[in-house]
Amino acid sequence: MNSFLPWTILLAPLISAVFITLFALRWKAVSSFISIAAVLVSFACSCLIFTQSGIAAAELTWINIGGALKVPLGFTLDQLSKTMLLVVSGVGATIHIYSLGYMRDDEGRSRYFAALSLFMFAMFGIVLANNFVMLFIFWELVGFTSYVLIGHWFFRDAAADAANKAFITTRIGDFGFMIGILMVWMATGSIVFAEITPRMPDLVSHPTFVTIAALLIFCGAVGKSAQFPLHVWLPDAMEGPTPISALIHAATMVAAGVYMLVRVAFVIQASQTALLVVAWIGTITAAMAALIATQQNDIKRILAYSTLSQLGYMVMAVGLASNDAAMFHLFTHAFFKALLFLAAGSIIVMLHHEQNIWKMGGLSRKLPVTFVTFAIGALALIGCPPFSGFFSKDAILALAYERNMPIFTLGLFTAFLTAFYVVRLLVIVFFGDTRSEAARQSKESPLVMTGPLIVLAIFAAVGGFGFFARNFLVLPIEKETGFFVPALAFGALIVGSGLAIGIYRSRASDPIDIEVLRHKFYFDELYAWLINWTHELLARVSAFFDRWIIDTGAVDGSSRGIWGIGALLRLIQLGNLQAYVFLFGLGVIAVIYFAVFR
Amino acid sequence: MITLGDYLIVSGILFVIGFAGVMLRRNLIIILMSLELMLNAANLSLVAFSRFRVDSTGLPDYDVQVFVFFIITVAAAEVAVGLAILVALYRARQTTDVKDISSLKF
């Protein structure tokens, strides 16, 4: 059954973005309401689509080169994409509304909402795409909107730099992604997911090829989902407005990498080596980010590192060949992490853009709604039963327990660290004495900001219940793990939280100081050094090439060469008539010799 | 019996004398005269070819002789132009020595 609904979902935000950019840049209120209306339309259509089965949309042929390369504009409408649509449009809608409050004093509000709408368009495109090329184009488009929104306050150097860093770092991964897509196209002759799947058996007979293709495609997810070697951009991306951090850099765009991996799981799962690499990258990211988070002092950065860590869990689940577990965690994480960021945003605004947790303290009395919702999000994040995070994280840990013991151990360790740093954050921000004037004078945020918080808090609390898990995803239970894994996870949670409460209760400064964690394992310094070094080398080589090969060799060389030949030829021009005659005679003799005797 | 070869040898000797004159003598008038000598060497060999190329009716090949007339005519014209240039050159430089006329170079 063809339906106009998918096209409506996709195009409503685009129309909003175009309209705001062309006509409504001056009327800030108008542009924000257009943007919110667009996302609400998309949300309503997503709900309608979710309830209907067997829905399809008209497909257009975009590029067709003699049948060799066919790129349609078509939609995938299965359980996976429908779920993702709901998450993206639902979280997106709450964040649009929250932005009304958060950005109410901002001069560039129209620009902000236009970019937000464009982001929604691109994100829906990724979710709906039924082929690699369409996926890749929207993939780049979310990268671009992410760049624009991180750099929303471009007059601050830190924001402009962070925007550049995010864009360039993800581009590195996308380059691999593109090569991977080309490899799959080369091997199967098609870029449409549904057409590639039946041709996979031919591919599997070339294990090395499949492994390389799968890993290159994974590179795209490494960049976009900020996994281990390319994770450095995400914490810096917190320079953007907080709703952006919530929507793009926590709930949706960074999760798009995981969604993409699930979407093309048929390629990844064709290679055991690739799966193992994916699982370990996820595990390393999860553990590393959690370690770093324990020593950060910026509230948004702590949340950013927790996002990294949770994304690591999802990638780990993909690597353990369970798409359902990954998507389940993506689903719950979208709600509780958006909630955490929005609550943090509420604190930041009420404290006049103070982000240092040591300048807060005692806020549970000043911002009660924010506190309760933040606490629900935090409990979901650390996997405390019965909040949503418990179920999804438990699913992943149970999976790891069954399939790979070292990964399970590290996953459990990460769960312990997560509990530790989240409770540390809670204790420092919401309890104890207020440690600054701004914190003492703060009061609760307006309803337009607390409303979305409450909605998201409800989902973060109940999102993991069997009702949702059953409806959205089918979890594989291969063998009964019983109470062993949940008990272990809960134990790690209790130990971590207890430790954090013990260490940080009524402290005014951090009693632990681990240099290497505070400096994020020196990744930025390492990359700076590496890039400096390679730049230097490249610059030297190019300078040598330019100076000696191009300048001296090609440019000066050709002119000098012509000059030299001219100088040689000038020697013949004697000006002596009789010498010319002599040469002429020699020439005639040579001609006769060649004509007659050869 | 005088053969074609004898004519050609005489013609060759005349040509070499002319060429040597052009190459070695310094006076422009002598050089012009030597040029005429080379042209006439060519004429001599052409006439000899005509005489020794007899067709079935016993007549020589007149085409070649027509060619010789052309050469004589052109040579006359060339001498007229050449002497005129020479006079002009003498008026300008007061010399007919080719050693002194060597400015046509870099």
Do the Cβ atoms of A578 and B98 come within 8 Å? yes
CB A329 within 8 A of CB A392: yes
CB A46 within 8 A of CB A86: yes
Q: CA-CA distance, A303 to A448, in Å (whole number)?
A: 22
* Helix axis angle, A388-403 to A484-504, nearest 10°: 120
Residue A480 binned pLDDT confidence (cut-offs 50, 70, 90): low
Q: Does the pLDDT at position A207 exceed 70? A: yes
DSSP secondary structure of A99-164: HHHHTTT-TTHHHHHHHHHHHHHHHHHHHHB-BHHHHHHHHHHHHHHHHHHHGGGTTSHHHHHHHH
Residue A467 binned pLDDT confidence (cut-offs 50, 70, 90): low
Mean pLDDT value across residues A533-538: 90
Percent of chain A with pLDDT strictly greater than 90: 28
Mean pLDDT value across residues A327-331: 86
A592 touches chain B (CB under 8 A): no
Q: CA-CA distance, A325 to A346, in Å (whole number)?
A: 31
Q: Residue B65 falls within a domain, yes or no?
A: yes
Q: CA-CA distance, A459 to A448, in Å (whole number)?
A: 18
Contact residues, chain B to chain A, C-beta under 8 Å: 19, 22-24, 98-99, 101-106
DSSP secondary structure of A309-323: HHHHHHHHHHHTT-H
Does pTM top 0.90 for this prediction?
no
Mean pLDDT value across residues A309-330: 88
Retrieve residue B102's tokens.
């060597």
Q: Residue B95 falls within a domain, yes or no?
A: yes
Residue A479's pLDDT is what? 45
Residue A478's pLDDT is what? 44
Residue A280's pLDDT is what? 92
The single-letter code of the amino acid at A466 is G
Q: CA-CA distance, B14 to B35, in Å (whole number)?
A: 11
Residue A297's pLDDT is what? 87
Q: Residue B86 falls within a domain, yes or no?
A: yes
Residue A472's pLDDT is what? 53
Mean pLDDT value across residues A376-387: 86
CB A338 within 8 A of CB A310: no
Q: Which of A110-114, A233-237, A395-399, A484-488 has the lowest mean pLDDT?
A: A484-488
| Residue range of the domain that includes B25 | 4-100
The CA distance from B100 to the nearest CA of chain A, in Å, is: 9
Residues 6+ apart with CB under 8 A from A109: A28, A31, A32, A103
How many domains would you assign to chain B? 1
Percent of chain B with pLDDT strictly greater than 70: 97
Residue A201 binned pLDDT confidence (cut-offs 50, 70, 90): confident
Mean pLDDT value across residues A100-112: 85
The CATH number of the domain holding residue B29 is: 1.10.287.3510
Q: Residue B89 falls within a domain, yes or no?
A: yes
Mean pLDDT value across residues A75-104: 87
Range list of H helices, A383-504: 388-403, 405-430, 437-441, 447-462, 466-472, 484-504
Task: Report how far apart the first and last C-alpha atoms of chain B are (Å, whole number).
Answer: 55
Q: CA-CA distance, B21 to B35, in Å (whole number)?
A: 8
The CA distance from B66 to the nearest CA of chain A, in Å, is: 25
Q: Residue B67 falls within a domain, yes or no?
A: yes
CB A377 within 8 A of CB A336: yes
Q: Does the pLDDT at position A483 exceed 80? A: no
Q: Does the pLDDT at position A137 exceed 90? A: yes
Per-residue exposure over A518-555, b if at least 16 CB sit within 10 Å of its own CB, e if not: eebeebeeeeeeeeeeeeeeeeeeeeeeeeeeeeeeee
Query: Does A386 sit behind a cis peptide bond, omega within 30 degrees of 0 on the bond before it?
Result: yes
Q: CA-CA distance, A229 to A144, in Å (whole number)?
A: 21
Residue A471's pLDDT is what? 53
The CA distance from A546 to the nearest CA of chain B, in Å, is: 36
Percent of chain A with pLDDT strictly greater than 70: 97
Mean pLDDT value across residues B70-98: 91
Residue B6 binned pLDDT confidence (cut-offs 50, 70, 90): very high
Mean pLDDT value across residues A89-117: 88
Q: Residue B20 falls within a domain, yes or no?
A: yes
Q: Which residue of B has its CA nearest to A578?
A: B23
More confident residue, A438 or A583: A583
Q: Does the pLDDT at position A509 exceed 80? A: no
In tens, the pLDDT along A397-444 reads: 888 888 888 898 999 999 999 999 999 988 888 887 777 777 777 777
Residue A118's pLDDT is what? 93
Do the Cβ atoms of B19 and A577 come within 8 Å? no
Q: Does the pLDDT at position B106 exceed 70? A: no
Residue A126's pLDDT is what? 92
Q: Does the pLDDT at position A129 exceed 50? A: yes
A:B CB pairs within 8 Å? 25
Q: Does the pLDDT at position A482 exceed 70? A: no
The CA distance from B104 to the nearest CA of chain A, in Å, is: 5
Q: Which of A90-104, A192-206, A419-433, B73-87 has the lowest mean pLDDT?
A: A192-206
- State chain A's mean pLDDT as an integer: 86
Q: Does the pLDDT at position A263 exceed 70? A: yes
Residue A383's pLDDT is what? 85
Contacts of A570 in chain B (CB under 8 A): 106
Range list of H helices, A189-271: 193-196, 200-204, 207-224, 233-236, 242-246, 253-263, 265-268
Q: Residue B106 falls within a domain, yes or no?
A: no
Do the Cβ atoms of A576 and B98 come within 8 Å? yes
Q: Does the pLDDT at position B7 exceed 50? A: yes
A91, A97, A346 from A446: Cα distances, Å: 19, 12, 9
Q: Residue B105 falls within a domain, yes or no?
A: no
